[in-house]
Amino acid sequence: MSQATWNPAQYLSVMSWTTFSTMITSFLLALIFFPIANFGAYLVGWPLGLSITANIILFIASSLARRDQYVSVSLTAEGIRYADESESYRRNELLRASDIKKIRIRRNPFFKSLTIDMKEDNQRFFLSNASLTENFLAEANALINQAADNSPQTGLQKA
């Protein structure tokens, strides 16, 4: 079946943009504090502010892109296998398809994130910077819908 994993190529792309932004910001700061010519008057306003803002945004994005480096999500016949093999966390859970409320993919300018919402306790499972097979979301939704169709109805029924 299908699988979603962490995307190292996208992480390297975001990290390279972060490094490039840091180099530009450092260069602008060097021109201000160690003036070769009088560039400080031209760089102190919006160019430096824009550079620092872009650097902060890219640093946060690269941190989020690396967050789930050891996470994988696999579809099985019983549901979804969520595995986190990080050194300090070690988590391997089978999320039964009947317990899953919805699964979705969120896109931001830098990468895709996979979110699994559970029916009980408002619990969520995440995979930031996800690399997915083409039909992962369709297969996951089919698995969830099939489990919902096969689950017994609870509550009061009319006679």
Average pLDDT of adjacent 10-residue blocks, the chain of 159 residues: 89 95 89 70 76 94 91 89 87 88 90 91 89 87 80 49
What is the pLDDT, as a whole number, of residue 157? 43
Instruction: Return the SS3 of 104.
Output: strand
Rounded Cα–Cα distance for residues 40 and 42 (Å):
5
Rounded Cα–Cα distance for residues 114 and 2 (Å):
14
